[in-house]
Amino acid sequence: MSGMKLFFDTFSQPSRAVLILCHAYKIPFEPKLIKIGEMEHQTNEEFAKVCASRTVPAIDDDGFKLFESAAIMKYLVCKHKLPDHWYPADLKQQAKIDEYLHWHHSTLRMGITPIIFNKVLLPKKTGQPPNEVIIRASEKILEKSLKLLESHFLKDTKFINSDSISIADLQAVCELTQFWMAGVDPVADKPRLSQWLTDCQKELAPHFDQVHEAVYSVRDKGTFKGMLLSSSFHSCELEGVERAATPTFDCKLKMAGLKLFFDAFSQPCRAVLILCHANRIPFEPKLIKIAKMEHQTDEEFTKVCATRTVPAIDDNGFKLFESAAIMKYLVCKHKLPDHWYPADLQQQAKIDEYLHWHHANLRMGAAPIVFYKALLPKMTGQPPNEEMIRTSEKILKKSLKLLDGHFLKDTKFINSDSISIADLQAVCELTQFWVAGVDPVADKPRLSQWLTDCQKELAPHFDQVHKAIYTARDRGTFKGKL
Ligand SMILES: N[C@@H](CCC(=O)N[C@@H](CS)C(=O)NCC(=O)O)C(=O)O
Looking at domain 91-221, which CATH architecture does it have? Up-down Bundle (1.20)
Which residue, by CA, sits nearest to atom 12 of ligand 1?
A: 309
- Ligand 1 centroid to Cα of residue 292, in Å, is 15
Per-residue pLDDT, 229: 57
Instruction: Give yes or no for residue 310 CB within 6 A of ligand 1.
Output: yes
- Ligand 1 centroid to Cα of residue 173, in Å, is 23
Which residue, by CA, sits nearest to atom 5 of ligand 1?
A: 309
| Residue of 140, 141, 266 best suited for mutating to test ligand 1, as the one with most atoms within 8 Å of CB | 266
Q: Which atom of ligand 1 is nearest to the CA of 296?
A: 17
Q: Between 3.40.50.200, 3.40.30.10, 3.40.50.10320, 3.40.710.10, what CATH number should domain 4-82 receive?
A: 3.40.30.10
> How many other CB atoms sit within 10 Å of the CB of residue 303?
10
Which residue, by CA, sits nearest to atom 17 of ligand 1?
A: 309
- Ligand 1 centroid to Cα of residue 263, in Å, is 10
Strands 30-33, 4-8: pairing kind:
parallel
Q: Which atom of ligand 1 is nearest to the CA of 290?
A: 14
Instruction: Give yes or no for residue 323 CB within 6 A of ligand 1.
Output: yes
Per-residue pLDDT, 319: 98
Strand order in the sheet with 30-33: 30-33, 4-8, 58-61, 64-67
Q: Which residues of the chain have pLDDT under 70?
A: 1-2, 229-256
For the 342-475 domain, the top CATH level (class) is mainly alpha
pTM assigned to the model: 0.93
- Ligand 1 centroid to Cα of residue 46, in Å, is 37
Q: Between 3.40.50.300, 2.60.40.10, 3.40.30.10, 1.10.10.10, what CATH number should domain 258-339 receive?
A: 3.40.30.10
Per-residue pLDDT, 122: 81
- Ligand 1 centroid to Cα of residue 109, in Å, is 16
Q: Which atom of ligand 1 is nearest to the CA of 312?
A: 20
- Ligand 1 centroid to Cα of residue 311, in Å, is 7
Q: What is the pLDDT of residues 430-440, one digit of tens each?
A: 999 999 999 99
Instruction: Give yes or no for residue 309 CB within 6 A of ligand 1.
Output: yes
| Residue of 310, 327, 369, 424 best suited for mutating to test ligand 1, as the one with most atoms within 8 Å of CB | 310
* % of the chain beyond a pLDDT of 90: 82
Instruction: Give yes or no for residue 420 CB within 6 A of ligand 1.
Output: no
Indicate the length of the chain as a whole number: 482
Instruction: Give yes or no for residue 267 CB within 6 A of ligand 1.
Output: yes
Question: Where in the chain are all domains bearing CATH 3.40.30.10?
Answer: 4-82, 258-339
Question: Where in the chain are all domains bearing CATH 1.20.1050.10?
Answer: 91-221, 342-475
- Ligand 1 centroid to Cα of residue 389, in Å, is 19
- Ligand 1 centroid to Cα of residue 382, in Å, is 23
Per-residue pLDDT, 251: 44
Per-residue pLDDT, 215: 96
Per-residue pLDDT, 13: 97
